Amino acid sequence: MGNRATPLFLFFTLFALCLSAKTVTAQQCDEIFTDGISVNDDAGLTTLLFAASIQGGDANLDTPNLVDFAFFNACSGNACAATGVAAESTSPPFQTGTGADGPIVVAPAAAATFPLGDYTDITVNSQSELTFSQSGTYFINTLTTEWRSELTLPPGDYWINGNLSIGQRAEIIPASPGTVRIFVNGNVNLGGDSSTAQFASEDLLIYATGSIDVNFRAEFNGFLYSASGTATVFWRAEINGGISAANITMQAFSTVIYNPTALAAGNFDTFCSGGGGTTVDHLQLSLATNASTCAANTMTISICANMDCSAVIDDYTGIVSLSTTTAHGNWSVNSGLGTLTPNPDNDNDGVATYAFNDNDNGIVSLDLANTHAETLTVNASDSVDSATGTSNNTTFSDNAFVITNIDSLANDVIAGRDHSFRVQMMRRAISGDPNSDCAVASNYNTADVKAWISRDVDDPSGIAPSLISATETQALADSEPALINLSLPFINGSADFSLDSSDVGKYQIAFKDDGLGFSDQDILGNSATLVVRPFGLDLQVNTNPAAADSSGAIFTPAGNNFTVSVRPVAWSSIDDSNDDGQPDNHADNDPGNGNADLSDNTTVASFGQETPAASVQLTSQLDQPTTGTDPGLQDGDGTIADGRILDGFSGGVNNSASTNQVYYPEVGIIEISANLSLTTYLGEVRTITGDSGYVGRFYPNKFAIMEDVTVGALVFDSQVNEACTTFSYLGQNFSTEVYIAALNSFDNLTRNYRDDFAKLDASDTFVWSAVNNGAVDLSSRITLLGVNSIDWAIDVNNDTTVDYGYGLIDSNLQFNRIATPDGPYANVRFGLLPSDDDGVTIPTADYDLEVDGIAGNDSVEIDTLDSVFRFGRLQIGNAHGPETVILPVPFTTQHWDGVSEYIDNLSDSCTVIAASDISFDDPPNPLSTDANRTVAVGGGTSTGTFISLIPATSISFVGGDAGLSFSAPGNGNTGNFPIDVNLTNYAWLRFDWDGNNNFNDDTALPSAEVDFGHFRGHDRIIYWREK
């Protein structure tokens, strides 16, 4: 006993270990949040304004000072009163990161997913979504979300070394059940109409060193704590949980509903104690029933969160104290990263402590060596919640079988795979003398023993395993057989065997030699408790075409539920080429690398029949597009249940479970993974997984026309661009710009509809409709001349960052003329129904344009402004005048007035005639040569000019007039010449000049004559003579 630590030394050792263990603040949660509101400063003030209300607590508020202007009995129907003392306060040591993972900026109307990390500043812009994908501890400098954004948080601790600002109508959403604790070294601002309503109150805590503002109509489920600032609950804001601050102001009609039940259930560890969540229910201890005084007996300690230990506290870092009922034994670490004290333990008193490491995941294996032949139990207690546990009885014998795991997979036993062991008969040289030597009994050569399994209480009572010896294979019973049942030839005290397990289970292998041929006492031995798991999970997606790229077959629209089934399977050598116990190429986030095919593996019958039953969690990873948005597999179950968790396995030869309540909200190709819902299986940390391979192709559920919608800095304004700004001529080309969005089944943008996954291009179907005055169907006269481009990469924020899922369709159309004049049409509306290669279009329910006069809308309107169309013509008249003055020539555009005549089109300042289509003189000289504008007249010349001319190129009309005139050729220079205009390229300006009742086939204007030296007299003068 000379090496035994002194009591004083042991005290300081235990004290140091307690400090290194997980910190659990002594302050009780219900001493901090004593009512709906509680003030934590000794000089603090509570102010209640008109109609403020505190419900669920009593009328006595823990606040040194109270000003009550509520004018009603604000405290649960009673008048509020101040106790005059403050509630308890707490201040957890603040943790900071390094910002090694840099900033996060989510662009407007975008979505992003990020893993566990150490970030600097995080900004989630308007209508955007940020999802953190892993539970754990995050470090952040500042976190800001803007209008209508969504922040999805898995359980964990979020340390923000700056301010937290949640925008108006923004949401904080739980990713999965569990507690989110947000620690802010600064101020907290929860914007107006913001919400955490999807949280249970016990699952959200926000701590701030500075002030907290809960703005107008905000809805907060959870608990808020300000260490030194003022908390203000603004107009009609509501808190369901509790709030504590140095000073609190509740503005008019604000409400706090105290929820002490949630407070008791909350896991607010590191902030306060006394809540739920990580409370240790008990310690589960398991070790072999029979052991040798010559070899250590391995004991597993599990930190149980519930009565059946179906959940362990995987972040437990407390201290467990151990002792044996006989006060004998020495402890050592078998598998664990924590600290054993004393170490080495050689005082043989059965006492030790083990401080868990966070990476132990709540389970550790310790070895107990005991040189005393005796029966004992182990008692344990933890330092956090004073939980206890007691092991089963274990008997140490001087002559005993010691079973050793000699397999390459150590203690990871897999159904369907033979697992190798060695059993040795160990004996002490002098029985009863703990100081005598131990060795393998080399003269023990027995061939026949009894063998069986001893099932654990959690065992699913499945198919019993078989034991393969050198000479036979024998199925093992669940209890000791009456007679010898196994030929197991020992050679020099040792025998190797394999365990052949076709089913899952949790049990010990037991051996017994009661033949008394070697010893006058029975020789017994048990293995450590073994957990046998499935090899993997065969995951199948119903009707999945398994598209490998963007050209592959479609699966289901983004956002639609689909069916996934999971089957636990046994090991097969062809699926585990490296013999690592995992299906080849699964769990690598690469569906194209040849995942081992588990569909033909034998079903494991009893997975999911354990106590408690195992369940499987489904997740997904985006494979394509490679730089796309990945929101992950989503829960499609409208109830509180999560469709991504599969339980209720059927058991038996067809054992499986399925769900039809999952969906993927984006376009693309994914891989789905199945894993255990918990980190443990039958109380041991195990990896059981299976991947689907390619799942997809997912495609949009529909398109939507974007008309006068603002996203970011861009206004999506689909429009008809009239050829002449305010109108178009019938038969004239005009353009349209249509903004379109590819949406999922929830009408949310699919941001992966991009690159090769965007299947709407210029070659697809575009059905155009048109109606005038909401009554005249003009659709048959609309011709799509061509789609110029479709751009699926649009910068909505003018920041050079491309945003996907929105498209711009640029098209040319024509409103066809008929044989005779009609119109004008002054109130034309257009509709469009696009359809891509996958058949994605706009559903009937979204139609908003009535076209054909039959009840029910027929299309989707692209522009809320009316378009104007006119039946036009171009006309030119003769001109006569003296040779001494400028001679104007009428050259104008006109349109049918809808009654009886053509009128000048004064709004036409867009018609342009190519110079090559206008000729002066005879033979015609086209004006594409600018010198041809000058014509010989008598002995002089006359030059034609226009109101808007690009020489040798084009003539433009202004106010419907070309402004054509000719200069005076000079006195005595008389003569005439023709003007010819070619209308081949101007079908919309033709007229029935030849009188054949076809207004579309005259490809030239009748020649006009310009005559100098003659002029038209007065119509009422018959004869005029000069004197």
Instruction: Give the pLDDT confidence score for residue 109 in this predicted structure.
Output: 87
* pLDDT above 80 for 8: no
* pLDDT above 50 for 23: no
| Mean pLDDT of the 452-478 span | 95
Q: Are residues 364 and 439 in the same domain?
A: no
Instruction: Give the pLDDT confidence score for residue 530 in this predicted structure.
Output: 96
Report the CATH number at residue 384: 2.60.40.10
The last residue of a domain, from among 845, 870, 895: 870
Task: With beta carbons less than 8 A apart as the criterion, state whether 757 and 742 touch.
Answer: no
- DSSP letter, residue 791: E
User: How many beta carbons lie within 10 A of that of residue 570, not counting itself?
Assistant: 22
CA distance 326 to 321: 16
* pLDDT above 50 for 5: no
Per the model's pLDDT, the better-predicted residue between 92 and 938 turns out to be 938
Task: With beta carbons less than 8 A apart as the criterion, state whether 213 and 189 touch.
Answer: yes
Q: Are residues 916 and 838 in the same domain?
A: no
Q: Are residues 556 and 491 in the same domain?
A: no
- DSSP letter, residue 201: G
* pLDDT above 60 for 1025: no
**Residue 814 lies inside a defined structural domain of this protein:** yes
Query: H/E element holding 474?
Result: strand 473-475
Q: Is the dihedral of CA 554, 559, 563, 569 positive or negative?
A: positive
Instruction: Give the pLDDT confidence score for residue 16 in this predicted structure.
Output: 34
* pLDDT above 70 for 402: yes
Structure tokens belonging to residue 946: 């226009």
Q: Are residues 112 and 254 in the same domain?
A: yes
Query: H/E element holding 717?
Result: strand 714-717
**Residue 562 lies inside a defined structural domain of this protein:** yes
Instruction: Give the pLDDT confidence score for residue 19 in this predicted structure.
Output: 30
Please tell me whether the overall predicted TM-score, pTM, comes out greater than 0.85 for this model. no
Q: Which of 805, 871, 859, 851 is nearest to 833 (CA)?
A: 859
Structure tokens belonging to residue 472: 């036979």
Task: With beta carbons less than 8 A apart as the criterion, state whether 434 and 398 touch.
Answer: no
* pLDDT above 90 for 881: yes
**Residue 362 lies inside a defined structural domain of this protein:** yes
Q: What is the largest CA-CA distance in the chain?
A: 169
Q: Are residues 839 and 773 in the same domain?
A: yes
Query: Which residues, 6+ apart, have CB-to-CB distance to 515 below 8 Å?
Result: 446, 448, 484
Q: Are residues 94 and 104 in the same domain?
A: yes
Task: With beta carbons less than 8 A apart as the criterion, state whether 316 and 362 touch.
Answer: yes
* pLDDT above 50 for 9: no
Instruction: Give the pLDDT confidence score for residue 275 in this predicted structure.
Output: 55
Q: Mean pLDDT over all residues of the chain?
A: 90
**Residue 273 lies inside a defined structural domain of this protein:** no
Query: Which residues, 6+ apart, have CB-to-CB distance to 540 below 8 Å?
Result: 564, 565, 566, 567, 599, 692
Query: Which residues, 6+ apart, have CB-to-CB distance to 393 below 8 Å?
Result: 289, 375, 376, 377
Q: Are residues 713 and 792 in the same domain?
A: yes
The arrangement of strands across the sheet holding 363-369 comes to 282-287, 297-304, 363-369, 330-335
Instruction: Give the pLDDT confidence score for residue 306 in this predicted structure.
Output: 81
* pLDDT above 90 for 642: no
Q: Are residues 69 and 175 in the same domain?
A: yes
The last residue of a domain, from among 361, 378, 396: 396
Where is average pLDDT lowest: 145-154, 253-262, 786-795, 971-980? 253-262
* pLDDT above 90 for 7: no
Helix, strand, coil percentages for the chain (3-state, nearest 5): 5, 45, 50
Instruction: Give the pLDDT confidence score for residue 900 in this predicted structure.
Output: 92
Instruction: Give the pLDDT confidence score for residue 274 in this predicted structure.
Output: 63
**Residue 1022 lies inside a defined structural domain of this protein:** no
Instruction: Give the pLDDT confidence score for residue 476 in this predicted structure.
Output: 97
| Mean pLDDT of the 456-468 span | 95
Q: Are residues 322 and 420 in the same domain?
A: no
Where is average pLDDT lowest: 85-94, 328-337, 477-486, 997-1006? 85-94
Q: How confident is the model at residue 1020 (pLDDT cuts 50, 70, 90)?
A: low
Residue 290 half-sphere exposure, CB side, CA atoms within 13 Å? 22
Per the model's pLDDT, the better-predicted residue between 973 and 637 turns out to be 973
Give Cα separations from 693 to 302, 338, 543, 601, 672 (angstroms).
35, 38, 14, 16, 7
**Residue 477 lies inside a defined structural domain of this protein:** yes
End-to-end CA distance of the chain: 159
> Which structural domain range is residue 475 located in?
399-533
| Mean pLDDT of the 266-285 span | 76
Q: Are residues 348 and 464 in the same domain?
A: no
Structure tokens belonging to residue 618: 């489904």
Give Cα separations from 26 to 23, 31, 137, 185 (angstroms).
9, 11, 22, 22
The pLDDT tens digits of the residues spanning 95-137 come to 889 998 899 999 998 899 998 899 999 999 999 999 998 888 8
| Mean pLDDT of the 30-51 span | 90
The pLDDT tens digits of the residues spanning 332-381 come to 999 889 999 999 999 999 999 999 987 888 899 999 999 998 999 999 99
Q: Are residues 951 and 888 in the same domain?
A: yes
Q: How confident is the model at residue 305 (pLDDT cuts 50, 70, 90)?
A: confident
Q: Are residues 355 and 475 in the same domain?
A: no
**Residue 804 lies inside a defined structural domain of this protein:** yes
Residue 989 φ/ψ, nearest 5 degrees: -115, 20
Report the CATH number at residue 990: 2.60.40
The pLDDT tens digits of the residues spanning 535-547 come to 999 999 999 999 9
Q: How far is CA 675 from the centre of its chain?
A: 18
Q: How many domains does the chain have?
A: 6
User: How many beta carbons lie within 10 A of that of residue 332, not counting itself?
Assistant: 15
**Residue 351 lies inside a defined structural domain of this protein:** yes
- DSSP letter, residue 933: G
